[in-house]
Amino acid sequence: MNEQNYFGGKIHDLIRREAHGEEMVFSSFLTAEEGETAASICKNAGAPYLLYGGFDHAERKMLGVSSMEHTLLKPCFPIAMLSIEAYRPELISNRDILGAVMATGVRRDCLGDIVARKGVLLMVVAAHIAPFLIENLSKIGNQHVRLNEVYGEIHVPEPEYQSLRLTVASMRLDAVVAALAKISRDQACQMIEAGSISVNHIPVVKKTKEIFGGDRVVIRGKGKWILDSCDGTTKKGRIVLECKKYI
């Protein structure tokens, strides 16, 4: 069984369990791409579902299959929010936190979003591993830290962006990737063919795919962008692309 069929089988198992009487069933944390696939499977099966990652703009989310009202279902997700206290929180990065957590032996699918910005350090984890991390994770990078579980509402800073204005010859994926990553069109084609590009969380290997305003483009090793608009043109007929790059 290949990886895609295995993943689909796990989602169908959740759907069957809910249909056979379990009030609510939950997956582990899913990537944005996996979340899109899981949602599609649920829709095709006519199953009630909700994707939730602990806060509204989370990217890694759990799938909950349940007919319960969404406002009532959210608090039932087996998710814990942990705050991280450090002497110099601004010196700790997302990657530092991820590395420290993985070094404890925790699986990646037990870990949701990590927030390390504006002096705020937070991470979303599967509820059952929260006590373990609070007890065992005492150092991140070269700093001693303390973890605490956060209860109730908490403000999670939204991602920061750099606004950009670029011009492209067309809205084909290869042209857009070349402009965003500041590489040649040939290099962009090579990255697309290698599966290094995703659009709206879905990997794309067709260089002629058309990109639209509102699309999210991820270029592996280069960054992530949200395309705001692509309406204007220059005097030479090039398309003006307004976008934001995640910092």
- Whether residue 71 is found in the same domain as residue 85: no
CATH number at 34 reads 3.30.1370.160
The CATH number that applies at residue 219 is: 3.10.290.10
Is 184 found in the same domain as 223? yes
Q: Looking at the structure, do residues 83 and 65 belong to the same domain, yes or no?
A: no
Instruction: State whether 167 and 196 are in the same domain.
Output: yes
Is position 155 within any domain? no
Looking at the fold, whether 209 and 146 belong to one and the same domain comes out as no
CA distance 70 to 163: 34
38: in domain: yes
Residues 138 and 184 in one domain: no
Q: Is 125 found in the same domain as 166?
A: no
Provide the pLDDT for residue 201.
81
10 Å Cβ neighbour count for 31?
A: 15
Structural domain includes residue 232? yes
Structural domain ending residue among the three candidates 127, 150, 173 = 150
User: Among 48, 75, 102, where does a domain finish?
Assistant: 75
Same domain? 191 vs 206: yes
Q: Provide the token pair at 231.
A: 């309406």
Give the model's pLDDT for residue 157: 78
Domain that holds residue 60: 3-75
Give CA separation, 55 vs 43, 149, 153, 227, in Å.
23, 15, 9, 23
pLDDT score, position 88 = 94
Show pLDDT as tens, one digit a residue, over the chain (247 residues). 566 788 999 999 999 999 999 999 999 999 988 998 999 999 999 999 999 999 988 999 999 999 999 999 999 999 999 999 999 999 999 999 999 999 999 999 999 999 998 888 999 999 999 999 999 999 999 999 999 999 887 778 777 889 999 999 999 999 999 999 999 999 999 999 999 999 988 889 999 999 998 899 999 989 999 999 888 888 888 999 999 998 7
CA 65/CA 49 separation, integer angstroms? 4
Domains identified in the chain, total number: 3
**pLDDT computed for residue 2 by the predictor:** 66
pLDDT attached to residue 138: 96
Residues 98 and 43 in one domain: no
Residues 169 and 227 grouped into a single domain: yes
Same domain, 28 and 71: yes
Q: What is the pLDDT of residue 135?
A: 97
Task: Write the CATH number for 95.
Answer: 3.30.70.330
Q: Is residue 156 part of a domain?
A: no
Do 69 and 84 fall within a single domain?
no
Report if residue 126 sits inside a domain.
yes
Give a yes or no: residue 201 inside a domain: yes
Q: Is 29 within the bounds of a domain?
A: yes
DSSP-assigned states of every residue in 79-137 = EEEEEEEESSGGG--HHHHHHHHHHTT--GGGEEEEEEETTEEEEEEEGGGHHHHHHH-
Burial class (CB in 10 A: 0-12, 13-18, 19+), 211: buried
On whether residue 39 sits in a domain, the answer given is yes
Helix, strand, coil tally for the chain in percent (to 5): 35, 35, 35
End position of a domain, from candidates 96, 120, 150: 150
CA distance 188 to 207: 8
